[in-house]
Structure 1
Amino acid sequence: MGRWREATLDATATGGRMLHDADLPAAAKLCARLPVESVLAANRIDAVLRSGLSTSGGQLWGFETDGELRAVCWAGANLVPVVPPGAESALDAFAALARAQGRRCSSIVGESGAALGLWARLSPVWSRPREIRANQPSLAIDHEPLVEPDPFVRRSLAAEYDLILPACVQMFTEEVGYSPASGVNGPYETRVRSLIAEDRSFVRFVRGTDGVEVAFKAELGAVAGGVAQVQGVWVAPALRGRGLSEQGMAAVVAMTRADVAPTVSLYVNDYNTRALAAYFRVGFRQVGTFATVLF
């Protein structure tokens, strides 16, 4: 408790504190200033505006100067700082709070300056990460796609969960390096079900040698402030190189802009040049840079 109290006092002295339900409107307003950059945190803030922080499984930290909220950080399964230009001192306060609790997150993710700046302050005391992805172009599109949407891409149905889950697990394993599967009602499995139920899961099926199989899939992992962030884009290995990703993403963009959010965003590893080229052909443009520290 002494260490927690000392670090909390340190954070408070530098303008940082744990936020409460009464602070949520101000936090949402701050995120609205940076809608693409903040969508991961804003998505969580929107959820707790409806249900309250006490049931969220996470915390929201804030940084204030002169009584005004200048930056926030969602602290849950991921640590997601939102630090507008000029508020970089917030990283000292957020690092103090993170040091006090010890590492509970599986990643630090967000705009590259904030994510890497927070990690620089935590690296002397936290364990070595598995990987640091320091350059992840953040892309967005706010107009109709430039390629013809795949007419066979549609929203997933609840009855298709057993077909979609293996594709989701394979995508995650390829991207992160380990399987997220944890049982029938595990957190990852529950997340996949929830995205399908919320009409945030998109899929294209083909008939393969073993029956119906997923050819393309993607999800809207975060939606807030007029922005929908696409995550989990995946094409079956045997079908790669045939343009399914471009037409599939065009379909996701068109459907999302029609009834979810006018701006569609995503971020991608800089070394994934084929994916970047595909997204640019669809009409995405780079609007910033994300970074992810994976533990």
Structure 2
Amino acid sequence: MLRTSSLRVLGERDRDAVHALLDTDPVGNVFVSSRLRGAGLDSGRLGAEVWGYSERGTLTALCYSGANLVPINAGPAAIRQFAEHARWQGRRCSSIVGPVDAVGGLWDRLGPTWGPARAIRAHQPVLELSEPPLVEADPLVRRVRVSELGILVPACVAMFTEEVGVPPDSGDGGSLYRARVEELVRTGRAFARIEDGRVVFKAEIGAVTPYACQVQGVWVHPDLRGSGHSIGGMAAVVRAALADIAPRVTLYVNDYNAPARAAYRRVGFREVGAVRSVLF
């Protein structure tokens, strides 16, 4: 029987086809697109693999396999092959993240051998804003200086631990995580309001392409929540991002986080999709 579909690990020779597929959804694919634009498709440099699923010689779906397992444009047939390959390879990721149906399909097949999951975030709305925010920006939110890294990192660790449920610095004492935060600071993608040596509000832009950027790590000091800092702070981040980083600003949020969702709506974000996360 003629084989009309296949899966293989992609490399640099596939670059044009991969980016053409990623660019069909620049907001939904911003994380993977950013990683590949920065490091290319060579797995040694990327620290991950990109699996391609082709039908009749045409690349139709991708799966990024690194610290996160991320399906892209994957229908049932591609999900079946990605799951078989992932099961054969063994779990190397700390999460599966992507479109709700695709992640659900992967987890249905991988759960019996990879489970149980530590947590499943079944529906996380994806938000986008490409116009100026609807509210005034907090004038005290600015780019973090390298000299303030010691102030910012503890706030980043607190946010990550609160959001994910495990600290990001438990494996190696935090050196890799600190290096990542420092990279964001040095590239002008870490924003905060800092008062008397304390972070009041912070957020980082973790992924950037020519078409979109993704905000991550939004956090307000626990003693100051409910005071509106996230609204003015996000407005400041959006203004800076639209001015000199990317023409669209995106993020995703837990559906049960009503205060955050309300704050983002006030800033002007609109819902454009949803993802699901399976955390290990």
Kept in 2, the 8 Å contact 1:14–1:92? The answer is no
Residue in 2 that maps onto 1:56:
46
The letter of the residue matching 1:132 is: I
Q: Which residue of 2 aligns with 1:7?
A: none
Aligned twin of 1:180: 168
What is the match of residue 277 of structure 2? 292
- The CA deviation at 1:48 is 2.4
> Aligned to 2:114, what secondary structure does the other structure show?
coil
What is residue 191 of structure 2 aligned with on the other side? 202
Instruction: Kindly state the Cα deviation for residue 54 of structure 1 after the two structures are TM-superposed.
Output: 2.3
CA distance in 2, matches of 1:173, 1:266: 18
The secondary structure found in structure 1 opposite 2:231 is helix
Q: In the aligned structure 2, how far is the partner of 1:88 from the partner of 1:36?
A: 22
Which residue of structure 1 lines up, in the alignment, with residue 98 of structure 2? 110
2:263 is aligned to 278
Once superposed, what is the RMSD of the aligned Cα atoms?
A: 1.5
**TM-score (normalizing by structure 1):** 0.90
Match of 2:65 in 1: 75
Asked if the contact 2:4/2:56 (under 8 Å) is kept, the reply is no
Are 1:231 and 2:211 counterparts? no
What's 1:3 paired with?
Answer: none
2:142 maps to 1:154: yes
Of the three residues 65, 68, 78, the one matched with 1:90 is 78
Question: Deviation at 1:228?
Answer: 0.5
Q: In 2, are the aligned partners of 1:217 and 1:233 still within 8 Å (CA)?
A: yes
Moved more, 87-96 or 177-186: 177-186
1:145 corresponding residue in structure 2? 133
Task: Specify the alignment match of 2:202 in structure 1.
Answer: 217
**8 Å Cα contact 1:16/1:93 also seen in 2:** yes
Aligned residue for 1:40?
31
Question: In 2, distance between residues paired with 1:225 and 1:112?
Answer: 25
Size of the aligned set, in residue pairs, is 277
Contact (CA 8 Å) 1:42, 1:225: kept in 2 or not? no
Query: Which residue type is aligned with residue 146 of structure 1?
Result: L
CA distance in 1, matches of 2:210, 2:33: 7
Deviation, structure 1 residue 53: 3.1
Structure 1 vs Structure 2: percent identity of aligned residues?
49
Picking from 242, 250, 267, the partner of 2:235 is: 250
Name structure 2 gaps, 5 residues minimum.
Answer: none
2:42 and 2:70 mapped to 1: Cα distance? 18
Separation in 2, partners of 1:187, 1:27: 28
1:99 aligns with 2:87: yes
1:20 pairs with 7, 11, 14, which one?
11
Q: Please give the alpha-carbon distance, in whole angstroms, between the structure 1 residues aligned to 2:58 and 2:232.
A: 45
Question: Aligned with 1:103: secondary structure?
Answer: coil
Q: What SS class does the counterpart of residue 233 from structure 2 fall into?
A: helix
* CA distances 1:256-291 after superposition (whole Å, capped 9, x unpaired): 000010100000000000100000000000000111
Contact 1:58 1:77 in 2 (8 A): yes
Report the AA paired with residue 111 of structure 1. Answer: P
The Cα shift of 1:14 comes to 4.7
SS of 1:261's equivalent?
A: coil
State the TM-score, normalized to the length of structure 2: 0.95
